[in-house]
Amino acid sequence: PEGRDLVLINADIPPYKMANRFNHEPRRHRKLLLHRRQIDKMISAVQRDGRTIVPVRLYLNEKGMAKVEIALAKGKKNHDKREATAERDWQRDKARLLRDKG
């Protein structure tokens, strides 16, 4: 959030090939158009709960306008990260054992 606006940062939207010098900059910051109540709800969730606003989907609607679907995400706790790391290590070791024996 920049001030009281939500901004999409570092999203690469490639330039339109058929356009001339009036084309857009691919990685510029883009202000998200939301209702004030939606913006306030998102900003308060980020500040109060430590959540993150994540773009889920970028698509063009029937009018040819770019739309972004966003979601509020909550990060993993440390014990969840340890479980995921242990599971990933076990899968890697299991694949190595099966490859060496077979």
CB 17, CB 32: distance < 8 Å: no
3-class secondary-structure state, position 40? helix
Residue range(s) defining the domain that contains residue 22: 7-74
Check residue 11 and give its pLDDT: 87
Check residue 3 and give its pLDDT: 74
Residue 96 lies in a domain: no
Whole-Å CA distances, 89 to 43, 55, 101: 37, 29, 18
- Cβ neighbors of 3 (< 8 A, separation 6 or more) are none
Check residue 26 and give its pLDDT: 86
Q: What is the pTM of this model?
A: 0.61
Q: State how far the Cα of 60 lies from the Cα of 24, in Å rounded to an integer.
A: 16
Residue 32 lies in a domain: yes
Residue 87 lies in a domain: no
Per-residue pLDDT of the chain (102 residues; tens, 9 = 90+): 567 889 999 888 888 888 888 888 889 898 999 999 999 999 899 888 889 999 999 898 999 888 999 999 988 788 878 888 999 999 999 999 998 876
Check residue 25 and give its pLDDT: 87
Counted domains in the chain: 1
Residue 89 lies in a domain: no
